[in-house]
Chains A and B, each alone.
Chain A
């Protein structure tokens, strides 16, 4: 029997292979957004190639022409790693919930609460680094898991939609914490919470290496290991399989003997725990203080990043990387090429937009293939 993938033109054959579409489709989305962005840059009268080049330079993927003291392409790159760490956690949080058919829109709130609790419990304590750092991570996990678990419980016990519950909790967390920061923990100069002890910070600063000084984000390693574990979890482990079942069909899952409530709550607890890790690596790693009255956009961007990565734990690493790198390269790009910083945000927006269309792209490609097969 002729395999439909063996015919047709090579490009279609490449994108048409269903087994690899989880990776090829996002590539198409990225390609399309880059093309669209190039057109916009051209309209602005600039060169798209130098624009993209400066984006990559800004985020440390390729060297800049010159550097300040103690800096080089490697330090830039590590800075991006530091920024990408919370994004990976947050996107994994969204992806886990997606698998169980849930939408965790409360990642930002969960991040803030766990970051805040870790800050006041450990960040302002005199604990030595060997105790403080693990404690920060544990608090992040526990606080996040509790908030996530609460949302799952509300959904299961009272049938409260998880999106509504999460949005409400976002507000409650945001304003309650702002109140405490403003009244008790504020730094009068920066108007943010007081800076935490360096012993409790998850990012090591100014680590000398040769003649450069760089940051080392400890949590990054945890993020990568967790992503690999989650891959295994969904592919090979019972609870992961049960979450997928529940995400696809609750009635049939109940029929098969799966405890729906337990599974939903567990999925939200894992999602929340990951969000908590995102929170501590953001507020006690990438930053060292909390700005009151705002929720970070990381938890919301994570939704689109997770989509771009097809909610696949490994895919999420790559998509987090891409989106963070593009956002970070923006400042450098605007100073080098002379177009506004917002263009970088625009490119990111385009990628996210096209990735949200991935299902549509997949259908178009498959339709093209079946048409070319018939010739």
Chain B
């Protein structure tokens, strides 16, 4: 370690952030943090939800200015007061929750702001979209980020949108690439591919800063790793010489158990019965085809599948967010096929949706309001038509405590200002507290730190023990294998296989997921 430090000093640093402090009302997001990043390395940043990772990198990208401290790029002191300035310094960033204009095409989104301009009749300027398409095509081939330049953003899947963001950086010839939790939204296969891209980018001389909660990813691609805890820098480690357990311990500040204790299941009667379910998407394209299954009390039924094979639509259809084309859904013996959302919630459905920012939360309402988003109708949160805001706050205090939700602004702070992981914890907490007989969890641990993941999984086991029926939908095979009592695998809208978790290996699940093996 000592040796490593000495060696590093002599290296050339492309980015140095010195004694950076950033405060938000009620919280010190970064407290005297100093990091130095070498040209051509992959530098990982690890830390609990709300530790200040996104904030630190947002300052490097000019979204916020530090309250104290200095930033050096290529040895020169700089003041990065806007993303434009960051781009001028060849810095690019892929945000945790990316924002693209829905009805732009891929290449329009990429060249936006620095479009190739041609002149009609030599005077009237117009955007030369043809050469933009060509440039994007070339760029995407060069880096293996295959994409159709003329496709609309709204028609793209998450991984493809992320590619657009990456290409956007590369088109601006960024040398320092910041990735904020890029793998949280991807499937395992996509993650694998992205990590390959990152390695390739490093080989071509780019410097990469990677924020992630997944230790094995750090192990695989990162050279060094900075660890933040509650705004403070704990340590900067050489990845090669540090074990993942050590990283986790430093990050949380204590030893972490990554396994949860799962006692044997006690199944009761059937809570959810889905029979011959057909669902269409907005374009009347069949996305769920003839799916039948049931979930019993005390059972965790997990649906595995590659992203986009109809799993999320099954959840949306059960919860009432998507209309059911045909088939029947019953809950505790009651036909709920055509009930509106509210009545299904009341009948006993909790639902953690895939998309926390556009479905699970109202970002511009306070944490307290979001925590009663489904229960404000009832006592003690309202009486008749009058809301009891004091009860909102009281409830929020309890929830913040119980689920370790970290919000700088406290109960009345806007959810938009909370860190991504803490937004997720708020949704999970709210849905569990509804105490419904059926709990639908879609990617419940997405974006959470290791400690929080264990916490949420323990809650799931607790609910199972309390006799709830749990429908878990996850893209992560590890999560499915760790949690499920029964596994269903979906491929291309159809349920390929349903079996007890004891009777199947993760390799076999993987094969069904790819549609290789037929039941």
Give chain A's interface residues, CB within 8 Å of chain B. 1-4, 18, 236-239, 241, 244-245, 248-249, 251-259, 370-371, 373-374
Contact A1–B23 (Cβ < 8 Å): yes
Residue in A1, A238, A249, A259 whose beta carbon sits within 8 Å of that of B376 in the complex: A238
Q: Which residues of B contact A252 (CB under 8 A)?
A: 358-362, 373
Residue in B27, B68, B386, B387 whose beta carbon sits within 8 Å of that of A374 in the complex: B68
Contact B362–A248 (Cβ < 8 Å): yes
A237 to B365 Cα, complex, angstroms: 15
Contact B374–A374 (Cβ < 8 Å): no
Chain A interface, >50% SS class: helix
A355 to B334 Cα, complex, angstroms: 54
Contact A241–B386 (Cβ < 8 Å): no
Given contacts A236-B387, A239-B385, A374-B67, contact A255 B364 (CB under 8 A): no
Give chain B's interface residues, CB within 8 Å of chain A. 23, 25-28, 65-68, 319, 321, 340-342, 345, 351, 353, 358-365, 369, 373-374, 376-377, 382, 385-387, 389
Nearest B residue to A5 via CB reads: B25
Q: Which residues of A contact B67 (CB under 8 A)?
A: 370, 373-374
Nearest B residue to A240 via CB reads: B387
Contact B385–A255 (Cβ < 8 Å): no
Residue in B25, B321, B342, B353 whose beta carbon sits within 8 Å of that of A4 in the complex: B25
Contact A255–B353 (Cβ < 8 Å): yes
Nearest A residue to B66 via CB reads: A374
Contact A255–B351 (Cβ < 8 Å): yes
A151 to B66 Cα, complex, angstroms: 48
Nearest B residue to A242 via CB reads: B376
Q: Which residues of B contact A3 (CB under 8 A)?
A: 25
Contact A255–B387 (Cβ < 8 Å): no
Q: Which residues of B contact A257 (CB under 8 A)?
A: 340-342, 345, 374
Q: Which residues of B contact A1 (CB under 8 A)?
A: 23, 26-28
A83 to B321 Cα, complex, angstroms: 48
**Least CB distance, A217 to chain B, in whole angstroms:** 30
A1 to B230 Cα, complex, angstroms: 14
A238 to B345 Cα, complex, angstroms: 18
A18 to B26 Cα, complex, angstroms: 14
Q: Which residues of A contact B353 (CB under 8 A)?
A: 255
Contact B362–A237 (Cβ < 8 Å): no
Q: Which residues of A contact B342 (CB under 8 A)?
A: 257-259
Nearest B residue to A254 via CB reads: B341
A371 to B358 Cα, complex, angstroms: 33
A374 to B340 Cα, complex, angstroms: 52
**What are 29 A-B interface contacts by the 8 Å CB criterion?**
A1-B26, A18-B25, A236-B386, A237-B386, A238-B376, A238-B377, A239-B385, A241-B376, A244-B365, A245-B373, A248-B363, A249-B358, A249-B363, A249-B364, A252-B358, A252-B362, A255-B321, A255-B341, A255-B351, A255-B360, A256-B341, A257-B340, A257-B341, A257-B342, A257-B374, A258-B342, A259-B340, A374-B66, A374-B68
Contact A245–B340 (Cβ < 8 Å): no
Nearest A residue to B353 via CB reads: A255
A245 to B342 Cα, complex, angstroms: 15
Contact A241–B387 (Cβ < 8 Å): yes
Contact B362–A249 (Cβ < 8 Å): yes
A374 to B359 Cα, complex, angstroms: 37
Residue in A248, A254, A259, A374 whose beta carbon sits within 8 Å of that of B321 in the complex: A254
A186 to B331 Cα, complex, angstroms: 66
A4 to B64 Cα, complex, angstroms: 15
**Least CB distance, B308 to chain A, in whole angstroms:** 19
Q: Which residues of A contact B27 (CB under 8 A)?
A: 1
Contact B387–A237 (Cβ < 8 Å): yes
Q: A3-B25, A236-B387 are in contact. List 8 more A-B contacts (CB 8 A).
A: A2-B23, A236-B389, A248-B364, A252-B359, A257-B340, A257-B345, A259-B342, A371-B65
Nearest A residue to B384 via CB reads: A238
Q: Which residues of A contact B359 (CB under 8 A)?
A: 251-252, 255
- Pick the most buried of A253, A254, A255, A373: most chain B CB atoms within 10 A of its CB: A255
